[in-house]
Amino acid sequence: MPVVPPAARPLKSARGGPRVGSAAAILAVLIVALGLVLLFMQLPRIALAPSPTASPPPGSSATPSVIGKDVNEAARILVAAGFRDKQGAQLIDWEEDRSASGTPCSVVKHEPKEGTPYQLGAYAKLFLVPGGSRDRCAK
């Protein structure tokens, strides 16, 4: 029976370290792991950030902006949107903001803020640039 010599094996590198293929695989795993760590570090901020296209819950609407409008026009817009006063009447409460400047009787802010979801019949309040007298702003 003839004797068969063993098969030739490739020589190991002189350094004895991992081959290029192994180093590339390790590098790829490290990059993926780093990417996952960075993703999960940002996840709470991503999950809690409101979506710019988020729609209000069913049965509610988003508060319109009435900033810069005359108090009477702003009140008409909010009443038409379904807001009421604390007693449920089709009126909108308002008060003068003594720190505000601009056109007298114009809205400088409102509650709820623009874009806030609300249910029909919700309470709204306007804050106005002082107009000199309460009669001047109310028409």
pLDDT digits (tens, 9 = 90+) for 1-33: 678 888 877 766 656 555 667 888 899 999 999
User: Hey, what long-range contacts does 76-83 have (CB within 8 A, 24 or more apart)?
Assistant: 78/110, 78/124, 78/126, 82/118, 82/120, 82/121, 82/122, 83/118, 83/121, 83/122, 83/123, 83/124
**Is 56 a domain residue?**
no
For residue 94, tell me if it sits in a domain: yes
Residues 75, 130 within the same domain: yes
Question: 119 vs 1, which has greater pLDDT?
Answer: 119
For 62-108, what is each residue's pLDDT tens digit?
Answer: 999 999 999 999 999 999 999 998 898 898 999 898 898 888 989 99
Residues 78, 39 share a domain = no
> Do the domain assignments include residue 130?
yes
What is the predicted pLDDT for the residue at 13?
60
According to the model, what pLDDT value does residue 29 have?
Answer: 93
Query: What integer pLDDT is reported at residue 107 of this predicted model?
Result: 92
Q: Do residue 37 and residue 73 come from a single domain?
A: no
CATH number assigned to the domain comprising residue 102:
3.30.10.20
pLDDT category at 44 given cuts 50, 70, 90 is low
